[in-house]
């Protein structure tokens, strides 16, 4: 099914990028024959199993191709859907929605591949909400599609109550104190140094954002679960004004708006939930990136 | 060897090359601090210089026979107006010449160096331009102390100098007095460049921009980040802004996370260099 889409791009001299699970990619290479040589290939687990690093990668690519004078691009992409934690599946759904929004201003055709045989019903249900068009040979507009703003508002993370027994430094925490608390916890946990730095930076940016936005009280808690370390920042501030805040890189001239974006790039998962008194931000680092699910099918 | 940086609660024991910001409450308090500072200066065979708005010999009575110290040239007492002019519009480089000559003369007279205790408050109470002028002078004075056997006790009066200015001034001293909220970072001369200690995040980057903005124009700014606890993107952006004005900015011994953030936000400038460990 992907073959005509790729061949059409090749015929029009459009740069074509294909990012698929390894076995699916092999089958497409074979089916394309000599045309495969003009396509840029990558494997979905390598590039990249992190949703917001992937978004950055795609946008960087669009930008560099535009600078090189290529105006229209084609992408075939397959998300690295995790078998694992449902909150990471939710994050990939947000990725799909934000990606659609982020690419809208650019002359890019993108096909997102969903493997109906292996993915859960939940994921398959949502793809009609996050994509404006469904199907490839005879695309139909999706009746369920909503904009990224709507999707992010409707699909914020669930409530984020602290697990029982977790020690929380309540109220009036400064970024310096937050960095110390998180650093000490992760050092004791045995988290590798580079990941400790990722977490300290992420927490620091989130606490700083809270205070700059006007929060008068910021609390920080850290804990470990079976597969990850978590730091949570709760504040009594006004919350995010823009549901899309921190998903896309701010322009180089922008003075603000980088903190949350940096946290999303460094951490494995950043969940944000409005609460009755303010906002909860939960930042997770997985010990190993959750296993990925793919099965062999022909495109 | 790294230049000494610390937070101190006593002015006793301060040595040549030490440069201290001391926040005091009331003139008699400053005199007490200066006496403790000068006792070490006498021990180090440094010529003592005492500078306040309206200095009196009796301020320092606890040092011993003041008349004798003054007569022998071991202690020089001068008013702020005598040293910096009466209109507060002194030129930092002229001031540097004055102190360079004072050091030369002290050596000619058999001293090992200078111990200068100055209540600078009258010069930082006015307009932002006046404070900027003083900050520029602190850069030069700190380099002078870093390179020469001179100890400097800079007094700032808590009661007359604005809080934000006290904080900004403290950032340009390797040693600061305890008992007050400390600035989150400090920037001081060490060897060929500067050393940055403490933490720079989104709450302190505005101050970092102000403090760097007061620096004398230079072709190059070398900043050693060995002892920098934390530095985030907003501080990197301040350094990148400086690089854009044509100053070559070189960061040394950065943590890998600093390099990661620089790459992440795409800070590229031919004048911005980062070496990490």
* pLDDT tens-digit series, residues A211-244: 999 999 999 999 999 999 999 999 999 988 888 8
Residues in Cβ contact with A118 at an 8 Å cutoff, skipping those fewer than 6 apart = A293, A294, A295
Distance CA B20, CA B273 (A): 30
Burial label for A250, CB within 10 Å (0-12, 13-18, 19+), is middle
Distance CA B164, CA B207 (A): 9
Does residue A297 register a pLDDT over 70? no
With tokens 């910096």, the residue in question is B84
Does residue A272 register a pLDDT over 90? yes
Distance CA B180, CA B178 (A): 6
Beta bridge partners of B196: B187
* pLDDT tens-digit series, residues B58-90: 999 999 999 999 999 999 999 999 999 888 788
B125 in reach of chain A (CB within 8 A):
no
In angstroms, the separation between the Cα of residue A197 and the nearest Cα of chain B is 6
Task: Kindly state the tokens that stand for A262.
Answer: 């940096």
- Interchain contact, A212 vs B203, CB within 8 Å: yes
Distance CA B277, CA B270 (A): 21
Distance CA B132, CA B153 (A): 19
pLDDT at position A290: 64
ipTM of the complex: 0.92
Identify all chain A residues contacting B257, using CB atoms and an 8 Å cutoff.
Answer: 194, 197-198, 201
Distance CA A162, CA A179 (A): 19
In chain B, the residue whose alpha carbon lies closest to the alpha carbon of A179 is: B230
State if pTM tops 0.95: no
Distance CA B178, CA B192 (A): 28
Distance CA B234, CA B202 (A): 6
* pLDDT tens-digit series, residues A31-53: 999 999 999 999 888 888 889 99
Task: Quote helix, strand, coil % in chain B, to nearest 5.
Answer: 40, 25, 30
Distance CA B235, CA B254 (A): 13
pLDDT at position A83: 66
* pLDDT tens-digit series, residues A158-172: 788 899 888 888 888
Task: Kindly state the tokens that stand for B167.
Answer: 């904080």
| Average pLDDT value for residue range A110-138 | 86
pLDDT at position B184: 96
Task: Kindly state the tokens that stand for A164.
Answer: 């029982």
**Confidence grade of residue A296 (pLDDT, cut at 50, 70, 90):** very low
In angstroms, the separation between the Cα of residue A39 and the nearest Cα of chain B is 27
B233 in reach of chain A (CB within 8 A):
yes
Distance CA B122, CA B107 (A): 30
- The beta-carbon neighbor of A258 closest among B199, B260, B265 is B265
**The dihedral formed by the CA atoms of B185, B189, B190 and B192, expressed in degrees to the nearest 10:** 130
Distance CA A137, CA A5 (A): 9
**Confidence grade of residue B229 (pLDDT, cut at 50, 70, 90):** very high
Burial label for A264, CB within 10 Å (0-12, 13-18, 19+), is buried
């Amino acid at each position: 099914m992907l073959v005509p889409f790729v061949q059409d791009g090749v015929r029009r001299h459009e740069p074509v990028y294909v990012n698929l699970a390894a076995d699916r990619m092999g089958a497409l290479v074979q089916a394309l024959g000599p045309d495969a040589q003009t396509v840029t290939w990558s494997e979905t687990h390598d590039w990249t199993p992190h949703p917001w690093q992937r978004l950055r990668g795609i946008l960087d690519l669009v930008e560099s191709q535009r600078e090189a004078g290529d105006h229209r691009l084609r992408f075939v992409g397959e998300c690295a859907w995790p078998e694992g934690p449902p909150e990471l599946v939710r994050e990939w759904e947000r990725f799909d929605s934000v990606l659609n929004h982020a690419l809208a201003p650019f002359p890019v055709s993108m096909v997102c591949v969903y493997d109906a045989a292996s993915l859960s019903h939940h994921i398959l249900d949502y793809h009609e909400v996050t994509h404006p068009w469904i199907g490839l040979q005879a695309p139909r507009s999706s009746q369920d599609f909503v904009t990224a703003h709507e999707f992010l508002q409707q699909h914020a993370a669930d409530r984020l109550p602290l697990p029982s027994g977790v020690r929380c430094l309540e109220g009036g925490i400064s970024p310096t104190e937050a960095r110390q608390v998180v650093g000490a916890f992760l050092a004791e946990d045995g988290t590798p140094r580079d990941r400790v730095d990722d977490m300290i930076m992420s927490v620091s940016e989130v606490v700083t954002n809270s205070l700059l936005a006007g929060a008068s009280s910021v609390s920080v808690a850290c804990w470990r679960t079976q597969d990850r370390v978590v730091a949570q920042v709760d504040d009594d501030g006004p919350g995010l004004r823009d549901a899309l805040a921190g998903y896309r890189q701010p322009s180089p001239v922008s003075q603000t708006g980088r903190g949350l974006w940096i946290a999303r790039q460094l951490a494995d998962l950043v969940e944000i939930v409005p609460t009755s008194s303010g906002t909860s931000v939960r930042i997770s680092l997985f010990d190993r990136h959750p296993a990925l699910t793919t099965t062999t099918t022909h495109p | 060897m790294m230049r000494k940086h610390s937070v101190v609660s006593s002015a006793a024991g301060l040595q040549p090359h030490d440069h201290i910001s001391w926040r005091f409450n009331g003139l008699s308090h400053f005199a007490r601090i200066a006496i403790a500072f000068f006792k070490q200066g006498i021990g180090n065979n440094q010529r003592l210089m005492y500078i306040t708005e309206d200095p009196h010999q009796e301020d320092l009575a606890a040092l011993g026979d003041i008349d004798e110290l003054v007569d022998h040239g071991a202690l020089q007492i001068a008013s702020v107006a005598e040293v910096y002019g009466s209109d507060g519009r002194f030129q930092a480089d002229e001031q540097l010449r004055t102190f360079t000559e004072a050091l030369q003369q002290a050596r000619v007279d058999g001293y090992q160096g200078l111990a200068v205790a100055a209540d600078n408050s009258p010069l930082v109470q006015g307009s932002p331009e006046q404070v900027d002028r003083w900050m520029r002078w602190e850069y030069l004075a700190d380099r002078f102390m870093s390179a020469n056997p001179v100890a400097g006790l800079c007094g700032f009066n808590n009661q007359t100098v604005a809080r934000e200015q006290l904080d900004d001034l403290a950032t340009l001293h390797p040693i600061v007095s305890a008992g007050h909220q400390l600035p989150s970072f400090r920037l001081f001369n060490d060897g060929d460049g500067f050393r940055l200690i403490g933490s720079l995040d989104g709450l302190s980057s505005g101050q970092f921009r102000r403090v760097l903005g007061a620096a004398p124009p230079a072709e190059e700014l070398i900043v050693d980040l060995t002892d920098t606890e934390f530095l985030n993107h907003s501080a990197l952006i301040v350094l990148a802004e400086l690089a854009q004005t044509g100053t070559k900015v070189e960061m040394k011994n950065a943590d890998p996370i600093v390099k990661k953030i620089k790459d992440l936000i795409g800070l590229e400038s031919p004048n911005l260099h980062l070496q990490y460990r």
